[in-house]
Amino acid sequence: MASHEERVAGIHAVRALLRKNPRSVRLLQVADGRQDSRIDELTALAAGAGVPVEQVSRQQLDQQDAGRHQGVIALAESSGRTKTEKDLRRLLDELPHAPLLLVLDEVTDPHNLGACLRTADAAGVDAVIIPRDRSATLNTTVRKVASGAAETVALVAVTNLSRTLNDLKERGIWLFGAAGEATTSLYAQDLTGSLAIVLGAEGRGLRRLTRETCDYLVAIPMAGAVGSLNVSVAAGICLFEAVRQRRPGNASA
């Protein structure tokens, strides 16, 4: 595989790629002998986009993706689909509604990043913002776990997260950081305006500067013995509480 290409593996991720950016796909590899409706859909999408389909052994696919490929791998032009600060400014300028953003402060586990992208897509998040350094990147694992959301959600990698957060505040976007020690419950906080949910790294939480930059800190009420949640689970709880409140006729708890 050429250095400028990447492997996109798994039914959902490949389907999303063929639908959203088929011109980036050079080759679709399918496990030899596999025939079912999902594979038929992918090969039809590939044919419609003029993408060649190659039948290969499952062992060949396993060598590329350690058995997690679900029988299909697309070879595509290397992403460039991670957005920049300039892209974020353009996106926010053009939004016809109050933005809903997710900020991940040094989330380094690609499985967690992929799960957060999937949750963000489901919640209608306008962009997910990560620091360019000390963060998981948009790789094959992230795409597989995201189940297609890596193609639908704008992932913005910024050089200086603190500066970006302050830029968001200047735009009137409120920053809500999730912190276990916060005294305000997530469910008591008004989340109906322009806002960004800010979540910290696995185990460590928000960095001090990030925490201090947030306008509000909120806590997810915990009833059991476990002291914290996986970041992707916390993202789902926070984002869908915001979605609930932002629906017409609803108000904060």
Q: Any idea how long the chain is?
A: 253
- CB-CB contact of 31 with 61 (8 Å): yes
Lowest average pLDDT, out of 40-49, 158-167, 231-240, goes to 40-49
Q: What is the DSSP pairing of strand 53-56 with strand 100-104? A: unpaired
- 58-112 per-position pLDDT tens digit: 888 888 766 577 888 888 876 546 889 999 999 999 999 999 999 999 999 999 9
- State the span(s) of the chain assigned CATH 3.30.1330.30: 5-77
How far apart CA 206 and CA 166 sit, in angstroms, is: 16
Averaged pLDDT score across all residues of the chain? 88
Class of CATH domain 5-77? alpha beta
First to last CA, the chain: 53
How far apart CA 131 and CA 141 sit, in angstroms, is: 18
How far apart CA 45 and CA 6 sit, in angstroms, is: 19
How far apart CA 141 and CA 129 sit, in angstroms, is: 18
- State the span(s) of the chain assigned CATH 3.40.1280.10: 82-246
Alpha-carbon distances, residue 118 vs 36, 53, 75, 104, 123 (angstroms): 25, 27, 22, 14, 9
Class of CATH domain 82-246? alpha beta
Neighbours of 1 (CB within 10 A): 11
Tokens read off for 4: 């400028």
Per-residue model confidence (pLDDT) at position 35: 78
Lowest average pLDDT, out of 26-35, 154-163, 187-196, goes to 26-35
Per-residue model confidence (pLDDT) at position 66: 62
By the 10 Å C-beta count (0-12 exposed, 13-18 middle, 19+ buried), 206 is classed as buried
- 68-77 per-position pLDDT tens digit: 778 888 888 7
Per-residue model confidence (pLDDT) at position 167: 97
Neighbours of 163 (CB within 10 A): 12
Q: Of 126, 109, 68, which Cα lies nearest the Cα of 243?
A: 126
- 19-48 per-position pLDDT tens digit: 888 888 889 999 887 778 999 999 999 999
Q: How confident is the model at residue 226 (pLDDT cuts 50, 70, 90)?
A: confident
Neighbours of 128 (CB within 10 A): 25
β-bridge mates for residue 25, sequence order? 76
